[in-house]
Structure 1
Amino acid sequence: MTLVILGCALPQYNVWWPLFVVLFYILSPLPTLVTRRYVENTGSSSACLEFAIFITMGFVVSAFALPIILARAPSEAPVIQWGACYLTLAGNIVVYITLLGFFMAFDGDDVDYSMW
């Protein structure tokens, strides 16, 4: 989040449009979290889980695409500068690696925490 806020608040950028990626941060884990409550752990793939992963990947790709589109806006001056775009993309990488680590760490239901 620090990188996204820096991409918005630094004096040479001074636009708050990149902050809209926070909406994607909030929405991206929701389909997977909701689906995991309703899908049985039978070991086989479920159509519901696959669709949730597809929707989640759509949110992730949108979070990376939004700053690039804002920086390449076809106007006299771009909506955001490329420096703000790079900071937002770096923030995206950090946030999504953190979310991936969370899902990998807490994937199993019967985890023995005494192993750590």
Structure 2
Amino acid sequence: MTFVILGCALPAYKVWWPLMVVLFYLLSPVPTLLARRYSETTGSPSSAYLELAIFVTMGFVVSSFALPIVLARSPESDPVIKVGACYLTLAGNVIVYLTIIGFFIAFDQEDSDYSMW
């Protein structure tokens, strides 16, 4: 999140449009969490709901990477955000999504100390 906020708040950039990717951060784990909850109640290890959830989650992830790129590559005379803000937002995306993947890996293992709650 620090990279995303830096991409918005640094005096060289002064545009808060890159902060829109936070919406994708919040929405990306929701389909997978809902599908896992549903697959646990039905007992089916692989279902169409889980596949659809993964597809929707990947849509959110791709959109969060595409949004800053599209904003930075708008008409060259007046781009919406500068290239530096785009790079900072992309770096923030990588870190946030690696953290979300780490969360799913850590709390999915049953023999881990983290899953005892």
The residue type equivalent to 2:78 in the other structure is A
Match of 2:24 in 1: 24
Match of 1:77 in 2: 78
**Cα deviation code 1:48-88 (max 9, x no counterpart):** 10000000000000000000000001262100000000000
Match of 1:113 in 2: 113
In 2: Cα distance, 1:104 partner to 1:46 partner: 20
Report the number of matched residues: 112
In 2: Cα distance, 1:95 partner to 1:112 partner: 22
Residue 36 (structure 2) pairs with residue 36 (structure 1):
yes
Match of 1:9 in 2: 9
CA RMSD of aligned residues (A): 1.5
Distance 1:112-1:81 versus aligned 2 partners, 3 A rule: closer
What is the correspondence of 1:37-116 to structure 2 with a 5 Å cutoff?
Answer: 37-40=37-40, 41-43=43-45, 45-74=46-75, 76-108=77-109, 110-113=110-113
In 2: Cα distance, 1:112 partner to 1:15 partner: 43
1 or 2, which has the higher helix percentage? 2
The residue type equivalent to 2:14 in the other structure is N
In 2: Cα distance, 1:15 partner to 1:42 partner: 47
Percent of pairs with identical residues? 69
The residue type equivalent to 1:23 in the other structure is L
Using the size of structure 2 for normalisation, the TM-score is 0.90
SS at match of 1:51: helix
Using the size of structure 1 for normalisation, the TM-score is 0.90
In 2: Cα distance, 1:112 partner to 1:94 partner: 23
Question: Structure 1: where are the runs of 5+ without partners?
Answer: none
